[in-house]
Amino acid sequence: MAKKEKTQFECQHCGYISPRYLGKCPNCGSWNSMVEEKIVTSTDRRQAVSFTGKRSQPTKITEIVPKKTPRVKTQMDELNRVLGGGVVPGSLVLLGGDPGIGKSTLLLQVSQQLALTGGKVLYVSGEESAEQIKMRAQRLGVLQEDFYLYAETDLEAIKQAIESLQPEYVIIDSIQTMIQPSISSVAGSVSQVRETTAELMRIAKTNQIAIFIVGHVTKEGALAGPRMLEHMVDTVLYFEGERHQSFRILRAVKNRFGSTNEIGIFEMHDTGLQEVNNPSQVFLEERLQGATGSAIVVTMEGTRPLLVEIQALVTPTMFGNAKRTTTGLDFNRVSLIMAVLEKRAGLLLQNQDAYLKAAGGVKLNEPAIDLAIAVSIASSYKEKGTQATDCFIGEIGLTGEIRRVNFIDQRIKEVQKLGFKRVYVPKNNLTGWQVPEGIEVIGVATLAETLKRVFGVQNF
C-alpha cells in the first residue's frame, strides 16, 4: 500500500489548516497557535467496511426496507429521557463536562446496566489503568461478567480489540487521549481528535455498535477540539453542576434521535450517581417563608415541568453606574425586563444594583420565566414578599403586556401537585384547557396589573 507524507500547519484552537506557518490564525485570530503536523496518507481509498466484510452499496430509496431497531433502556430513567428513550444501536454519543464532575462515574454505572441487558460492554480508558478503574467499580458495585476493561490509547489496537470481542457497546474515556498512528501530532491535537472520532464513527455505523466518547472541556466551558467534533457525533450531552454541590444536570444540546430540550438530574453520593425523581421539590425545599425578592416559576425542560425559585436582590448603588449580575439567567433578558419595569411599571431602577439567580444551580432560558423575574425584582425593590403558595408564568413584551406561553396545562398540573394554591398566567392562556381542582388561576394582561394584584398596592 503506497503512502505519502504531507506537512501542514494547523491551528490548535479552531482547526484552520495552512500550507505554511502563520503567526496569527486568519480564522479565529489567535496568535502562535499554528503547529506543524506531518500526516501520512494512504493512496488506497477503499471505503470502510464492517467487521463482517460487508460493504455499503448505492440503493434506490424505494427499495430500502427500514429496520425498526428498539432502543436499549438503562435503569436510569433520567438518562433515557435525555437520550430520547434509550440507547440507539449504532449511535455515537459525546459526553462533555468539567473535570471531576462525574463523567466516568456515570458511564461506569451505565456500563453495568447495559451489561445486564445481555450485551457486551468494552470500556476503553486512556487516562486510568485497569486497576484504578476496578477500584472505582468495586466502590460503585459495578461487577459484571460481560463488562470488559481495556487501558489503551492506540486506536489501531482498540479496533482489533473491538473486532475480536464484538461488543454491543464501547466507551472511550477520553477522546483527547486517543492516538491515530498515521498522524504524527500529539494526543489531543485537532488532527488527532478529528481523525479518531471519524474512525470511531465509521465503526459505530458499519457495525451497529453504540459508542460513548468522553470529551474534555476548555476553561470557557466548550468542548475541547475542533467544532467539527460536535457535528460528527449523533448526540452531544453536557454534564453540568457546581463542584461544591451534589446535584448534577445532564443536558442534551444535540440529539438526532430525540429532543434537545430534555435534562436529567442526578445527585452524587459515595456509591455513585442517584436519580432525582422529583427535582421541583428539591429546588424549593430550602426556600425561606416570607422572604422578599423571591418568586416561583414553572419552566419546561423538554417534556418535564420544573418549579424553580428565582431570587433577586435590589440595593442602592454606591457608584455612578448600577451593577447587574445574573447566575443561571440570561443577562440580556434581565436587563430588558428591568427596563420594562422602569418604563411601564414606574420602578426607578437606574440607580439600583441588581443581583439575580436561579436557585439550585439550574440554568433557565425560556420566555415563560419573564413574569417571575419581574415579580422577584419588584418584591426586593419594594421590600414586600410574595405569598409562599403563589406561582408566576408568562412572557413580558416591551410594551408591558403579558404574552401567552405553551404547555400551560402541564405547568398548572405540576403546580397543583406540589401544593400551590394560586398561579398567575397570561390572560390569553385561560381558554382551551380545564383548570384542576384546588388551585386558583388568575389571568393577567399587563405587568402593572400583575404587580397591583400581587402586592395589593396602587403605586406601581
Report the C-alpha gap between 146 and 129 in whole angstroms: 19
Which residue is listed with cell 435590589? Answer: 314
Which residue is listed with cell 416561583? Answer: 296
Report the C-alpha gap between 19 and 9 in whole angstroms: 6
What dihedral do alpha carbons 28, 30, 33, 37 form, nearest 10°? Answer: 20
- Strand-pair category, 121-125 with 147-151: parallel
φ and ψ of 110, to 5 deg: -65, -35
- Angle, helices 130-140 vs 103-116, to 10°: value is 70
Which residue is listed with cell 464501547? Answer: 170
Report the C-alpha gap between 92 and 211 in whole angstroms: 5
Contact by Cβ (8 Å): 445, 427: yes
What's the distance, Cα to Cα, between the start and end of the chain in Å? 80
Cell for 50? 464492517
Report the C-alpha gap between 321 and 317 in whole angstroms: 7
Q: The dihedral of CA 430, 433, 436, 437: what is its sign? A: positive
The gap from C-alpha 52 to its chain's centroid, in whole angstroms, comes to 36
Which residue is listed with cell 439600583? Answer: 352
Cell for 18? 495552512
Comparing C-alpha atoms, which of 97, 9, 13, 5 is closest to residue 42? Answer: 5
Known binding positions for ATP = 97-104
Comparing C-alpha atoms, which of 357, 312, 344, 338 is closest to residue 448? Answer: 344
Known binding positions = 97-104
* CA angle 352–353–355, rounded 5-degree value: 135
Identify any residues that bridge with 294 across adjacent strands, giving them in sequence order: 311
Report the C-alpha gap between 425 and 357 in whole angstroms: 22
Q: Is the peptide bond before 174 cis (omega within 30 degrees of 0)?
A: yes
Contact by Cβ (8 Å): 84, 231: no
Collapsed DSSP state (helix, strand, coil) of residue 142:
coil
- Angle, helices 331-344 vs 447-455, to 10°: value is 80
